[in-house]
Structure 1
């Protein structure tokens, strides 16, 4: 299996979280695959900008999920960072990749993204430092 690392951003304002609808029809937090030679932090900053037009400040890791996708031979590791939008307004940057971006309440987000067992509220309580050691 081919290892694929994916970095996501948990961006909240008040009791809402930013979610994106990918062209495949699945909802997720903004983010995407880490490119060769790129740190996790660089990847999440780039992916959020490419998908939403937002500039973000990256915080701690709040979740690590893992999955095997046998149909395409991928072993995926999903790393979710807490992040803060520091510039811009969310707007679709690539209509070939993203069909919708919206702020939604936590309960709706939990229904759209059931792969976090404790939901957005659990992610907000979670924290693990991220350090790039060179």
Structure 2
């Protein structure tokens, strides 16, 4: 079974209490993110994926969740790392319409319905924290 690491960005607008989500062509709504490329750190991957999918430049704050899944139908063992992040620049834009069909700020209830694999909800993720540090 092939191991795949995936890094997601939890981008939160505190004043509006909204989460940024993307609609992935063919697979539905998720946080911005994607597979970590060979030679890339988790932090580099989440920053790159957020920029590619949303046009935003982000900074990593910490890890808020690690999920794991076996996709036997695809022969994949996936680890999903979700990072709390903050916006450092850029403007929201769809850069590749073949990959992302929509970008939307959603409320907690909507985000929770779209991400049932976080059973305690987005509110819990925003309160969670584990330090992240790449050891050279």
TM tier relative to shorter chain: over 0.9
Gap runs ≥5 in structure 2: none
Q: Of residues 116, 119, 124 in structure 2, which corresponds to 1:117?
A: 119
Aligned equivalents of 1:76 and 1:90: distance in 2? 28
Aligned equivalents of 2:86 and 2:107: distance in 1? 17
Gap runs ≥5 in structure 1: none
Q: Secondary structure at the match of 2:126?
A: helix
Residues 60-79 of structure 1 deviation map (CA, whole Å, 9 limit, x = unaligned): 00000000111110000000
Count residues in correspondence.
Answer: 134
Once the two structures are superposed, the pairs formed by residues 32-111 of structure 1 within 5 Å of their partners are 32-111=34-113
Residue equivalent to 1:4 = 4
Q: CA RMSD in A?
A: 0.8
TM-score by length of 1: 0.97
Aligned equivalents of 2:81 and 2:111: distance in 1? 18
Instruction: Please report how far the alpha carbon of residue 25 of structure 1 lies from its aligned counterpart in structure 2 after TM superposition.
Output: 3.6
Aligned equivalents of 2:6 and 2:59: distance in 1? 18
